[in-house]
Amino acid sequence: MSPHEAQQLLDNAEPIASEEAVAAVLGRLAEEISLKLADAFPLVLPVMGGAVVFAGQLLPRLRFPLEFDYLHVTRYRGNTSGGEMEWRVLPGQNVVGRTVLVLDDILDEGETLAAIRDKLLSMGAARVWSAVLTDKDNGLDKPVQADFVGMSVPNRYVFGCGMDVHGLWRNLPAIYALKDQ
């Protein structure tokens, strides 16, 4: 895709949540997470690559001690629909006996987050919490619900704030939806 085509994707997209709305959601999430986990000394694991922006904006708002690592599992690989689960990186730090907080950009069908929860519990985590910036309102019976949800988004292809469209636009501070869906 050319830079011009990438810009056309953004120019033709519909704004879903402004940069200010996202910042307000991050503040609220930080408060909710702090109330539950401030005394837990959690291991925080963002799901790469989508959660990098979410984690980078949320972590400075958490005013309690935590350890940080990451994991990388994907079903999308640049596509707009999920495929087979691909585990790329498991956490390097020991999760045995730990309270773990998984951060992800979007809870779509719930398959990835459920697989992550199950994998971490099988590795010996004592408790797995999850926080997502967005939860897609798609009417599906999801195999997992996030413990902390920033905002609901419509059942459309959304991007920005770490979520990509064809591998692009993760860097946007606001959330957009493709118009043709």
Q: What is the pLDDT along the chain (181 residues), one digit of tens a residue?
A: 899 999 999 999 999 999 999 999 999 999 999 999 999 999 999 999 889 999 999 999 999 999 999 999 987 555 555 568 888 898 876 899 999 999 999 999 999 999 999 999 999 999 999 999 999 999 889 999 999 999 999 999 999 999 999 889 999 999 999 986 4
Alpha-carbon gap, residue 108 to 169, rounded angstroms:
18
Q: Which of 77, 79, 56, 76 is nearest to 68 (CA)?
A: 56
Question: In one letter, which amino acid is 156?
Answer: R
Q: What is the pLDDT of residue 81?
A: 55
Q: What is the pLDDT of residue 49?
A: 85
Question: In one letter, which amino acid is 36?
Answer: K
Domain 3-79+95-176 class, CATH top level: alpha beta
Q: What is the pLDDT of residue 82?
A: 58
Q: What is the pLDDT of residue 79?
A: 52
Q: What is the pLDDT of residue 172?
A: 97
Kindly report the number of other CB atoms within 10 A of residue 164's CB atom. 18
Which residue's structure tokens are 């940069």?
Answer: 19
Residue ranges in 2-93 assigned as alpha helix (H) = 3-11, 19-37, 51-58
